[in-house]
Amino acid sequence: MEWEVPALVLSAAPYGESSAIIHLLTEEYGLVHGLARGGTARANRALWQPGNLIR
């Protein structure tokens, strides 16, 4: 399922070799947990820092 709403990153934990389990807080959906494939890659590492606002 994909949404395009602003979200605040609460936490991100490595999962497997290159994925990350992320916890987000959104205004519309509340607390959301998900799997970000490639989330631990160098290019994406800064995106999943706690406190970061993403869209």
pLDDT tens digit sequence for 4-29: 999 999 999 999 999 999 999 999 99
3-state secondary structure 4-41: CCCEEEEEEEEECCCEEEEEEEECCCEEEEEEECCCCC
Q: For the chain, what is the domain count? A: 1
Could you give the C-alpha distances from 24 to 1, 42, 50, 53, in angstroms and in order? Answer: 14, 20, 9, 9
What pTM value is reported for the model?
A: 0.84
Domain range for residue 25? 7-54
CATH number at residue 35: 2.40.50
DSSP letter assigned to residue 54: E
Q: So what's the pLDDT on residue 15? A: 94
